């Protein structure tokens, strides 16, 4: 936690060589001038937090969130521009340097969980509003006007009485602004615009990062060149995790022109196990050399493990409820199930998948002459990368951590999806730099990427339900998988030894439980007797390096919960839409939490507050008028369902043979940070082959406020197609400790030919804006599964759904 | 030393002739708009034009290029004024953007050979280009829009 003096904010103008500037944030002495000096950059203004206005009237927004396709910079800039009253055509973006110094200012540079708009909207709006207040006061003085007569619009302060006005740039040139605002008191007090006055928020302005992406000028980490730089290519490790390199013979590699050396990466931090990097003067030479190396390795503790072993272990674990940890405990499931009129049981499984972003993992690392270390990379977790690399360098250089200076230079991210928050590549590159004494650009080939991917865990689910008087009386959800939380070093390593990724179970056993692997099962349906219990396969976690993948556990849990909800509806003889609406009644906690932020008590309320601990800011829940995204709860989900079902023509549209609709809902990501979404899939199945085609997806989403509606639609389409891809095609297999797929002929994401028609409805309820980049992905798989059942009677309880599985399920269907 | 014609300029390279053109463009000549995605011609991120045809530059050895005219995304129009680029911006196609140079080069070649493609022809023509952000629906829309712009340019 930063000290109190760092919580004071200044609005000040200072004259530099480039002219005056105004910044809201910390005094420039604290904003990383050391960092600038360290990298030998020109002594220009170092961006402070949030934004800078220059006398030419340009406002540059400083975006600490990673730009990876969600156009987050544009969205946050819209919020600031709205309150600051600057003209949109004079808005620019930049990405601040991540460093120990800047960490105390910006907080955690970490872009995950569809959380950026949710967590930043209110704060940056207030920063913009404070800027406007200061400029109006200064402009008013210049105009000799009364404050009550002055207002700001389009980058100018206008005096209503005289009709005169002055531009922000001119104010900065002539007035020395030195107004000090306290944090958080002034931030709390500043008056925000009424939403009816919004001019930029809610407008589909073009994304500021797009023009560079259509003419080749956009810069990703891989596009960095440093003087004297060598290239590194990773040799495919013997197993995914735990291999030990015994020997490296580079006699063949030495024949390759440009080959420099082979480096066995120090894996003493438990990262980069079994890694050998071939270094050369060019990347093609490095790739050739990596292939030519003769490496012998001990495959390690998981060297004989296969996916089948993992699934067998899951099955065995699930037979021991005494070893489980409870996540949801409401009513008495054990009493309610036998008391039901009808009981239902089903087993679901899901395969491993991986992010396989188009930009393979890469980075450029430099050890500067002043002994500082620089990583050039597009990453989702610049702060954790710096912390991890600092710890690693401290270890391998035998230095105190405080004597190791690491700076992370952030670039565009060529697809993240949760998969660019592990930092092995920067550790390996830094180790190569240490061994070679030159900057190194490390690029994983696609094959090296797949061999070292961080997949979503495989899962096993045992579902039980009780139907009484035609309604849902009980539900039990057992989940066995590899928990990702314990593997992420960020918890125990950087939070005073406590692992905030692990929560306590709710069964009084005080067991650790990993919300990232279980979330989504705590759905918003009213079930009087509801239990979710979970088992961790620690071996799986480490063996496959289980990780967070777009919507994290929602991506499998919603497939299971929503498929099973349809099974229950059918067993109860009820329409799946009508049945869901009947249990989306907002009873009890399912109405959501009102305006009080995030009260402690339930496990899933824990996350956001804990994440905020790492920041020098109080939780936004402490702002007056701040509204939790959960407000309305199940009733908002029900509303989405009505809209989607209605638009799709549920129950009324005339459909061709072997064609049906399926429905599914989701409140991804966490229960405490939901985005309400309903999806209807229209699917045609070929009963002869089991092949199926998604004809149309109808999606209704309540995101509160759509900051940029056109982009919200783009995000919904893209994430829905991600869901289609994972249900139709994506599957990693694991054998002898290694991932078997190597490239896009074996791992086959969705392409143009499978794209369905779309009907997307944005429900702008006016509630606090929440993330839109991921949640729609979770409704597609179950909606497709339910449509396949409705079309041909085949219930497939495994994801992905292959044509063979459809045929098999058709054989097993009840007559 | 090989002499390449890239974006209307003569560029020299001393890379071995079996080097994939992709790496010569990206890492040696620093035309980084051409992206590496798979190295096997499976994803289309590295698509450039060779004499106007869309080619996966990871599959073409630099020694086999000869005097052929290479156009990269940087040479299409740096000011984003090519109809495909204009349509891409108007329809707001890119998300992470990594595959988009390849998508745009593929689309530009497609339209130069078939100025009025049907939707099915667009889908077929663009099916080799992967996009993990799944900007696919907007790509189809933007190719149609670019075709329309090109017609308008011809018949003002």
Return per-residue pLDDT of chain B as tens, 156 residues.
999 999 999 999 999 999 999 999 999 999 999 999 999 999 999 999 999 999 999 999 999 999 999 999 999 999 999 999 999 999 999 999 999 999 999 999 999 999 999 999 999 999 999 999 999 999 999 999 999 999 998 876
Nearest chain B alpha carbon to A256: B16
Query: B129: domain CATH number?
Result: 1.10.150.120
- B27 and A283 in contact by Cβ < 8 A? yes
Token reading at B24: 């010569």
Residues in chain A: 815
Task: Examine the pLDDT at A20 and tell me if it is beyond 70.
Answer: no
* CA pair distance A530, A535, nearest whole angstrom: 17
Taking the CA atoms of residue A790, residue A782, residue A527 and residue A509 in that order, the dihedral angle to the nearest 10 degrees is 140
Token reading at A514: 């990993």
* CA pair distance A720, A698, nearest whole angstrom: 10
Task: Examine the pLDDT at A716 and tell me if it is beyond 90.
Answer: yes
Write the residue in A220, A750, A753 that is nearest to B134 by C-beta. A750
Q: How does residue A622 score in pLDDT terms, banded at 50, 70 and 90?
A: low
User: Greater confidence, A57 or A237?
Assistant: A237
Best mutation target, A75, A93, A216, A416, to test chain B (most B CBs within 10 A) = A216
Distance of CA A636 to the CA centre of its chain: 23
User: CB-based contact (8 Å) between B131 and chain A?
Assistant: yes
Task: Examine the pLDDT at A117 and tell me if it is beyond 80.
Answer: yes
Task: Examine the pLDDT at A598 and tell me if it is beyond 50.
Answer: no
- A215 and B74 in contact by Cβ < 8 A? yes
Nearest chain A alpha carbon to B20: A284
Mapped onto helix, strand or coil, the DSSP state of residue A490 is helix
- A69 and B77 in contact by Cβ < 8 A? no
**CA of A445, closest CA in chain B: separation in Å?**
7
Query: B69: domain CATH number?
Result: 3.10.20.30
Render pLDDT for A685-696 as a digit per residue (tens, 0 to 9): 999 999 999 999
Q: How does residue A624 score in pLDDT terms, banded at 50, 70 and 90?
A: low
What phi, psi does A313 have (nearest 5°)? -65, -40
Mapped onto helix, strand or coil, the DSSP state of residue A690 is coil
**CA of A438, closest CA in chain B: separation in Å?**
17
The domain locations on chain A are 4-209, 221-301+356-451, 455-812
User: Greater confidence, A27 or B103?
Assistant: B103
Are B57 and B117 in a shared domain?
Answer: no
Indicate the CATH number for domain A4-209.
3.30.365.10
Q: Are strands A165-167 and B47-50 parallel, antiparallel or unpaired?
A: unpaired
- Give residue A122's pLDDT: 82
Q: Domain end: B47, B75, B103, which one?
A: B75
- B97 and A210 in contact by Cβ < 8 A? yes
Same fold across A221-301+356-451 and A455-812: yes
- B74 and A219 in contact by Cβ < 8 A? no
Q: Domain end: B55, B75, B95, which one?
A: B75
Q: Domain end: B75, B103, B122, which one?
A: B75
Mapped onto helix, strand or coil, the DSSP state of residue A637 is helix
Domain count, chain B: 2
**CA of B18, closest CA in chain A: separation in Å?**
10
Class of A221-301+356-451 in CATH:
alpha beta
Domain with B18 in it? 2-75
Q: Are A516 and A548 in contact (CB under 8 A)?
A: yes
Write the residue in A213, A222, A751 that is nearest to B94 by C-beta. A213
Are B12 and B70 in a shared domain?
Answer: yes
Are B35 and B89 in a shared domain?
Answer: no
- A743 and B40 in contact by Cβ < 8 A? yes
* CA pair distance A706, A355, nearest whole angstrom: 27
**CA of A415, closest CA in chain B: separation in Å?**
6
- A358 and B131 in contact by Cβ < 8 A? yes
DSSP-assigned states of every residue in A741-765: --STTTS----GGG--EEEEEEE--
- A211 and B80 in contact by Cβ < 8 A? yes
- Tokens 């391998």 correspond to what residue? A396
Q: Is B19 exposed, middle or buried (0-12, 13-18, 19+ CB in 10 A)?
A: buried
ipTM of predicted assembly, 2 dp: 0.98
* CA pair distance A134, A156, nearest whole angstrom: 12
Q: Are A616 and A1 in contact (CB under 8 A)?
A: yes
Nearest chain A alpha carbon to B138: A714
**CA of A264, closest CA in chain B: separation in Å?**
25
Report the run of H or E that residue A153 belongs to, with start and end. Answer: strand A150-153
- Give residue A178's pLDDT: 64
Write the residue in B19, B100, B133 that is nearest to A718 by C-beta. B133
Indicate the CATH number for domain A455-812.
3.30.365.10
Asked which of A89-98, A248-257, A706-715 is least confident by mean pLDDT, the reply is A89-98
Token reading at A77: 């800039």
Mapped onto helix, strand or coil, the DSSP state of residue A520 is coil
* β partners of residue A411: none
Are B66 and B129 in a shared domain?
Answer: no
Are B96 and B134 in a shared domain?
Answer: yes
Are B51 and B112 in a shared domain?
Answer: no
Q: How does residue A502 score in pLDDT terms, banded at 50, 70 and 90?
A: low
**CA of B155, closest CA in chain A: separation in Å?**
26
- Give residue A501's pLDDT: 57
Counting one residue from chain A and one from chain B, the pairs whose CB atoms sit within 8 A come to 172
- A751 and B34 in contact by Cβ < 8 A? no
């Amino acid at each position: 936690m930063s000290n109190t003096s760092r919580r004071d904010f200044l609005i000040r103008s200072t004259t530099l060589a480039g002219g005056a500037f105004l910044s809201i944030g910390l005094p420039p002495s604290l904003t990383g001038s050391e960092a600038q000096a360290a990298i030998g950059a020109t002594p220009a203004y170092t961006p402070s937090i949030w934004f800078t206005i220059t006398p030419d009237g340009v406002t540059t927004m400083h975006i600490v969130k990673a730009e990876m396709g969600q156009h987050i910079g544009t969205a946050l800039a819209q919020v600031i521009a709205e309150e600051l009253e600057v003209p949109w055509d004079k808005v620019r973006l930049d990405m601040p340097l991540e460093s120990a110094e800047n960490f105390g200012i910006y907080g955690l540079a970490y872009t995950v969980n569809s959380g950026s708009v949710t967590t930043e909207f209110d704060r940056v709006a207030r920063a913009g509003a404070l800027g406007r207040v200061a400029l109006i006061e200064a402009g008013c003085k210049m105009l000799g006007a009364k404050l009550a007569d002055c207002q700001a619009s389009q980058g100018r302060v206008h005096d209503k009485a005289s009709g005169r006005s002055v531009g922000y740039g001119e104010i900065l040139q002539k007035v020395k602004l030195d107004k000090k605002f306290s944090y958080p008191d002034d931030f709390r007090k500043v008056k925000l615009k009424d939403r009816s006055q919004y001019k930029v928020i809610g407008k589909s302005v073009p994304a500021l990062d797009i023009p560079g992406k259509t003419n080749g000028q956009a810069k990703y980490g891989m596009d960095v060149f440093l003087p004297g730089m060598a290239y590194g290519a990773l040799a495919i490790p013997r197993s995914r995790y735990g291999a030990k390199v015994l020997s490296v013979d580079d006699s063949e590699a030495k024949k390759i022109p440009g080959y420099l050396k082979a480096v066995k990466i120090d894996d003493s931090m438990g990262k980069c196990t079994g890694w050998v990097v071939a270094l050369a003067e060019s990347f093609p030479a490095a790739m050739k050399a990596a292939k030519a190396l003769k490496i012998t390795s001990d495959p390690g503790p998981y060297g004989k493990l296969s996916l089948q072993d993992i699934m067998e272990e899951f099955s065995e674990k699930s037979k021991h409820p005494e070893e489980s940890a409870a996540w949801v405990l409401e009513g008495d499931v054990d009493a309610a199930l036998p008391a039901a009129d009808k009981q239902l049981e089903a087993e679901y499984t899901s395969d491993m998948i991986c992010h396989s972003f188009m930009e393979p993992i890469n980075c450029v690392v430099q050890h500067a002459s002043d002994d500082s270390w620089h990583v050039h990379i597009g990453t989702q977790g610049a702060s954790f990368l710096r912390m991890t690399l600092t710890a690693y360098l401290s270890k391998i250089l035998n230095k105190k951590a405080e004597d190791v200076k690491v700076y992370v230079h952030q670039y565009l991210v060529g697809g993240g999806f949760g998969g660019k928050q592990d930092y092995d590549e920067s550790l390996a590159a830094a180790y190569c730099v240490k061994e070679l004494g030159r900057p190194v650009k490390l690029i994983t080939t696609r094959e090296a990427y797949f061999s070292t991917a961080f997949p979503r865990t495989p899962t096993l689910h045992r579902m039980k339900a009780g139907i009484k008087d035609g309604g849902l009386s009980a539900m039990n959800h057992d989940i066995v998988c590899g928990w990702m939380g314990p593997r992420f070093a960020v918890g125990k390593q950087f939070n005073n030894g406590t692992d905030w990724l692990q929560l306590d179970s709710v069964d009084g056993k005080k067991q650790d439980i990993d919300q990232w692997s279980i979330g989504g099962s705590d759905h918003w349906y009213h079930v009087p007797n509801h239990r979710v219990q979970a088992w961790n396969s620690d071996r799986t976690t480490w063996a496959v390096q289980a990780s967070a993948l777009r919507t994290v556990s929602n991506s499998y849990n919603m497939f299971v919960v929503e498929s099973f909800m349809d099974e229950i509806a059918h067993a109860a003889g009820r329409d799946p839409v009508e049945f869901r609406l009947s249990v989306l009644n907002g009873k009890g906690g399912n109405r959501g939490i009102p305006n009080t932020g995030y009260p402690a008590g339930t496990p899933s309320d824990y996350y956001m507050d804990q994440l905020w601990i790492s920041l020098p800011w109080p939780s936004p829940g402490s702002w007056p008028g701040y509204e939790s995204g959960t407000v309305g709860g199940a009733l908002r989900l029900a509303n989405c369902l009505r809209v989607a079902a209605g638009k799709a023509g549920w129950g009324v549209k005339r459909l061709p043979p072997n064609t049906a609709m399926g429905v599914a809902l989701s409140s991804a990501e966490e229960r405490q940070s939901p985005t309400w979404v309903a999806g209807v899939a229209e699917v045609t199945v070929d009963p002869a082959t089991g092949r199926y085609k998604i004809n149309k997806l109808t999606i209704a989403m309540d995101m509160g406020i759509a900051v940029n509606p056109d982009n919200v639609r783009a995000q919904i389409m893209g994430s829905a197609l991600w869901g289609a891809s994972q249900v139709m095609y994506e599957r990693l297999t694991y054998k002898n400790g290694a991932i078997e797929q190597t490239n896009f002929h074996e791992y086959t994401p969705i392409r143009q030919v499978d794209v369905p028609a779309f009907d997307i409805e944005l429900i702008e309820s006016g509630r606090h804006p929440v993330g839109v980049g991921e949640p729609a992905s979770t409704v597609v798989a179950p909606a497709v599964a339910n449509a396949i059942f409705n079309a041909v009677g085949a219930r497939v309880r495994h994801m992905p759904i292959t044509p063979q599985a459809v045929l098999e399920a058709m054989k097993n269907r009840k007559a | 030393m090989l002499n390449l014609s890239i974006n209307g300029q003569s560029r020299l390279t001393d890379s071995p002739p079996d080097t994939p053109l992709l790496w010569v463009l990206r890492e040696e000549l620093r035309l980084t708009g051409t992206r590496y995605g798979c190295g096997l011609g499976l994803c289309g991120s590295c698509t450039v034009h060779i004499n106007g045809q869309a080619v996966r530059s990871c599959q073409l050895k630099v020694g086999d290029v000869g005097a052929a005219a290479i156009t990269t995304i940087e040479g299409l129009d740096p000011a984003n004024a090519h109809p495909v680029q204009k349509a891409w911006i108007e329809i707001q196609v890119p998300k992470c953007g990594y595959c988009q140079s390849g998508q745009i080069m593929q689309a530009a070649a497609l339209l130069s050979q078939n100025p009025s493609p049907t939707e099915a022809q667009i889908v077929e023509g663009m099916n080799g280009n992967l996009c993990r952000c799944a900007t696919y629906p907007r790509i189809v829309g933007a190719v149609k829009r670019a075709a329309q712009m090109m017609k308008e340019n011809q018949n003002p």
